[in-house]
Amino acid sequence: MSVEAHTRVVKSIAADLGFSFCGISKAVFLEDEAPKLEAWLNKGYAGKMEYLERNFDKRLDPRLLVPGAKSIVSLMYNYYPPPDKHPVAGFKVAKYAYGEDYHFVVRDLLHDFMNRLREKVGNVDGRVFVDSAPVMERAWAAKSGLGWIGKNSLLLNKERGSFFFLAELILDLELDPDGAVKDYCGTCTACMDACPTEAIPAPYVVDGSKCISYFTIELKEAIPGDVKGKFQDWVFGCDICQDVCPWNRFAKPHNESRFNPPAELVNMTREDWLDLSREVFTRVFDRSPLLRPGFEGVKRNIQFVS
């Protein structure tokens, strides 16, 4: 098969598996990203997330992750919830965490993708990634034309906004690359203006150490008192900069049943959250992203915003 035929196969499989967008880029060293990443780390924007400082070279060169890599396949999987699947009261949880942990859901799809690809084109060496290794997924997605990196540092898509999970296949298969798209943020600063902790100090720069998602998920110690009263009831993650983004008016509900929240979460009141027991937490958030901070972490967050 030709490179063009291989490319058509990849795009076809992506569509069949329910990925909203699929873009391709050549597996090369991310030369433009190297100084940006170094500067971001040097400013302390990673906070206590020491893992972001490790594997610096691998983050920038996919060929160190997959020897002989030729192509990066970037994929977007929608998680924007249907109108009737939003929790209606109580404290706030980021939309991506309403249902089953996306690592499980998307990884299953990626393994299926690789199996189908090998059936169609023969032996292909590669690895699949869904926020699981030092891969600069937003940079690769932008490079492959899935969208542009917005002022809140998230990937924005002109047709569907930003409520997507990103995933990658790094392959030793040569494919036709797609081109990048232009930046459509313009003069808008909605995300910057809306952030209650001022975690976006400049356009296209996010101070991770000030982000509500960082405080409620990544930070293992006590939340600093100087951000008390600024979380607007968010106890896991935060969607503020996405909710105010004009491009998300084009978001469409997902079709992934595994992302739907359990009825108990949808109906949880503020009192239910305040009285949350370990037994209820384990039942409601089985296989949920909320298992990352765990029961103790979520209780800490609830107490902090109460």
- Picking from 64, 60, 53, 58, the residue whose alpha carbon sits closest to that of residue 31 is 60
Annotated catalytic residues are: 131
Which ranges in the chain belong to alpha helices (H)?
Answer: 3-16, 33-42, 56-60, 102-121, 137-143, 190-194, 212-213, 240-243, 263-266, 270-274, 278-284, 294-305
Name every residue whose Cβ is closer than 8 Å to that of residue 238 and which is 6 or more positions away in sequence. Answer: 92, 94, 211, 212, 213, 216, 231
10 Å Cβ neighbour count for 172? 16
| Gap between the Cα atoms of 6 and 139, Å rounded | 23
Amino acid found at 171: L
Strand partners, 211: none
Six token digits for residue 254: 């997902």
